[in-house]
Chain A
Amino acid sequence: MKVKMSTGDRIFTIVNYTLLILALMMVIYPLYIIVIASISDPYAVMRGEVLLWPKDISFIGYERLLKHKDIWIAYGNTILYTVVGTLLNLVLTLMTGYALSREFMGKKFFNLMFVFTMFFSGGLIPTFLQVKSYGLYNNPLVFIVMGAISVWNVIIARTFMKSSLPEELYEAAVMDGCSHVRYFMKIVLPLSKALMGVLVVYYAVAHWNDYMTGLIYISKRNYQPLQVVLKELLTSLQVTDTMSSMLNDVQDNELMMRVAESVKYCAIVISTVPILALYTSMQKFFVKGVMIGSVKG
């Protein structure tokens, strides 16, 4: 079915591809340079010699980072919060999504109750005071309980169940005397694998990248998630307090400043690789997920 392209179309195609490849480079290059800078000699990075290939391969940044206890505690915390939190999210979202996809008395009311929270919230301070009064301040449970359900994801789940599970299936099951819970467990869940894939990535990414909860609700260092520790490491102009304690055995001060830079690159790599890996492995679900979400509630 090949049709010969006109000259105009050919030019169009060439321009189009060029622009897209350019866009591709613009996205990839900053990420790439962080990776190569993290394994290059800090001096070479400073001199701006690390542009295309790593130079004078050195793992000094990673070595330093390995010694930094704080970041590994935080790393462990984040993994824990992400795994447990996502599991809870998944269970609750599927349950709620299913319930809202059925007809029952008061459905309109419950729908409104959910949707209203998307448009109006108590705001930062009242939420903080309330959560605090539940005893969740400085309590790692807050990472799991806060945001246990995202209303947006509930809508995705509801839409999915409504649109991809035929109504006849449910009616037949009801005729057979199947209860909601049974139907949900035996039929809905097995048929919702794609949905679960989307939800897992959405929720896991949200947990992994969650910076605000730690910032606001946790003051004990041992409970802090990765993002909070990363913030201390990354967003100062040069060497932070945390960092100088990590580096204070380096005698040469100039070297210390250089290594500090290197540590930042390494920290970005180790904190971002897991989440990008999860995303790539699950990415086939995405277009579908976004599509479901865009169908309005």
Chain B
Amino acid sequence: MKRKAARAMGLVLTMAMSVSLLAGCGGKDTSGAEEAKTEVSQTEETTPETAEDTDEGAAEEEAKAEASQQTNVPTLPLEEPVTINVMAMADPSVSVDYENMAFWKMVEEETGVKVNWTVAKADEFVQKKNLMFASGEYPDVIFGGGISADEEESYGVEQQILVPVDEYMNAESMPNYYGLLETRPNFMKQMVATDGHIYSISRAWEIGYTSGGHYFINKQWLDNLGLSVPTTMDEFKAVLKAFKEQDPNGNGQADEIPLELVLKDDASCAVTNLFGSFGQLDVPGHRILENDKVVFSAVQEGYRKGLEWISEAYNEGLIDTESFSQDMSTYYAKIKGGNIGCFIGWRLGGMAHSFEGIEEQFICMDPPAAEGAEPVWYKTEASAMVGGAAITVANEHVAETIAWLDYLMDPDIAFQARQGNVGIYQEIDENGKFVMKMKEDGTAYTNEEINADCPGPGGLFFLTSDVIKEKYSLSDLHLEKYPYCEQYDKYLCAQSPDLIDRGRLSQEDRDTRSRMKTDIDKFVDENTIRFISEGVTDSSWNTYLDTLNSIGLEEYLALCQKSYDAFNKN
């Protein structure tokens, strides 16, 4: 009886919602968004049940499901609030002050799950995570994409610190997540660890970007000097030289930085992209895929040619001296300083490097081609990313946590996690799409304001292209990148290097690989810097190759190949 009543309620609510949306369409009142928001959350609760409606015949099953729902699956908001400790990796552009984010306040209100946050960004997070695993004092949840496939193996399969989540991956326990996952059957295979269990909730963000970084060149400076956008590396150098010598910013001082680069960290900004102009794909870590074979890029002829070009430019003062010693935040800060001729980045607006007017100053430039080379460009691979959230053995409220995670997976919530709360930063338009709201005074919210109130890319989401198309009206920031990707499409490499480490290896192989990786990466980075500052000669290049071989490059690549093959088999 109760159930029927609930169903009826659901129907009524759905109707009410469409009515109110219609009303919102006609009226101009601002409270419409508020209403829509509450209704969205109500329909959510009813959706799974209405779905079951269609299966009238399976009454027994339904009863079972109902029973399990009553025993295992907690309903939100929880009657008795629980508190969980969550360790989260934050996105570089977002605040780490999760406690005071409007988004998390809303989540706490609507789920009854109170969270004790420990939040850090990239490098710092990795360090804290390692210490945490070593200490034996685990948080209840590791959140924000901080667990890799390797870590699932060692902390899940071998040490059993992580709890398998596969038993919850069904329509009852995680309706939102499971529903989305069903539309991507091949993702599931990537998530399974070597013991057949799944140790984390995956994330996906199929926004359809195909490339990470792009060259951005200072159009204002080009115009000031009457130059055109360079298409070859020789022209590129000439332009940089002009930037340096002809005072494009017109302040009478030679204080311009023609080219700003950064050594590693982020594949979308790193100097590795530059080697593409010499026909040699390169990414941090220097492993790429060619016809299903793992190849080391930093020993190829194209890499050497690239080094020679960079070295010349560096020694002529065309590249910022600090390029190869700075970290990402300094790199961003320099670009933000507004005195840069050219850099490689994800997009212009809404980044840590953005400043007012950056869109007018810079344009996206095709990768210039070196003589006799076809430029190639790094292709990013959109697929499930494991490690979106993992539960540890310390967790005493697993069922509640699962419910909380699934709540976050609801696209309506996930969109708010990315772009800010409905009612504050966003509203739902007449087509049921999320759109950004304006401030009272008619201006748009700045990124700093939004980033202080929601976790952005650090949240939990499984947003497939269909969902994005259906519900999301892309903001200008997102739209900005599509043309860049289109522009770069013709340069993309055939197989994305992202796939190499996705396969799973035994503990011994993993240990060997990580030890060798440390040595090899260190050696290549060091020598890259040395080649850049001192130039490349035949003998120094050959010594470099020989040493790499003696470190065991071949064995290392064989292990990487093994991992990729394991992945490819799926």
Contacts and interface: CB of A to CB of B under 8 A. Distances in A.
Chains A and B directly touch (beta carbon < 8 Å): yes
Given A129-B134, A132-B135, A219-B118, A253 B338 contact: yes
A256 interface: yes
A219 B128 contact: yes
Contacts of B352: 244
Given A219-B118, A219-B120, A236-B327, A137 B337 contact: no
A253 B131 contact: no
Interface in A216-251: 219-220, 236-241, 244, 248, 251
Interface stretch (B9-17, B285-293, B328-336, B551-559): B328-336
Interface string A248-287: 1001011011000000000000000000000000000000
A35 to B, nearest CB: 26
B143 to A, nearest CB: 16
B330 A254 contact: no
Nearest to B95: A245
Nearest to B338: A253
A256 B322 CA distance: 18
Nearest to B326: A237
A229 to B, nearest CB: 13
B329 A244 contact: yes
B508 interface: no
A257 B257 CA distance: 14
Nearest to A239: B333
A129 B322 CA distance: 37
B538 interface: no
Contacts of A257: 333, 337
Interface residues of B, number: 25
Contacts of A244: 329, 333, 336, 352
Given A137-B135, A219-B120, A219-B131, A254 B339 contact: yes
B325 interface: yes
Interface in B336-367: 336-339, 352, 355-356
Contacts of A254: 337-339
B158 interface: no
A238 B118 contact: no
B301 interface: no
A283 B536 CA distance: 55
Chain B residues touching A, majority SS: mixed
Interface string B120-135: 1100000010010011
B137 interface: yes
Contacts of B355: 253
B128 A237 contact: no
B448 interface: yes
Nearest to A251: B356
Nearest to A249: B448
Contact of A137 (B131, B326, B334): B131
Contacts of A248: 448
A244 B355 CA distance: 12
B329 A236 contact: yes
Contacts of B137: 137
A237 B322 contact: yes
Nearest to B135: A132
Interface in B306-328: 322, 325-327
A274 to B, nearest CB: 28
Contacts of B448: 248
Nearest to B134: A129
B120 A240 contact: no
Nearest to A240: B329
A281 B338 CA distance: 47
Nearest to B325: A237
Given A137-B137, A219-B128, A236 B330 contact: yes
B350 to A, nearest CB: 14
B329 A241 contact: yes
A241 B120 CA distance: 13
Interface string B383-420: 00000000000000000000000000000000000000
A257 B334 CA distance: 9
A97 to B, nearest CB: 35
Contacts of B329: 236, 239-241, 244
6 contacts: A133-B136, A238-B326, A241-B329, A244-B336, A244-B352, A251-B356
Interface of B: 118, 120-121, 128, 131, 134-137, 322, 325-327, 329-330, 333-334, 336-339, 352, 355-356, 448
Interface of A: 129, 132-133, 137, 219-220, 236-241, 244, 248, 251, 253-254, 256-257
Listed from nearest, the 8 A-B pairs whose CB atoms lie closest are A239-B333, A253-B338, A241-B329, A253-B337, A132-B135, A219-B128, A237-B322, A257-B337
Given A220-B118, A236-B329, A237-B326, 18 more contacts: A132-B134, A133-B136, A137-B135, A137-B137, A219-B131, A236-B326, A236-B327, A237-B325, A237-B330, A239-B330, A240-B333, A241-B329, A244-B336, A253-B338, A253-B355, A254-B337, A256-B336, A257-B337
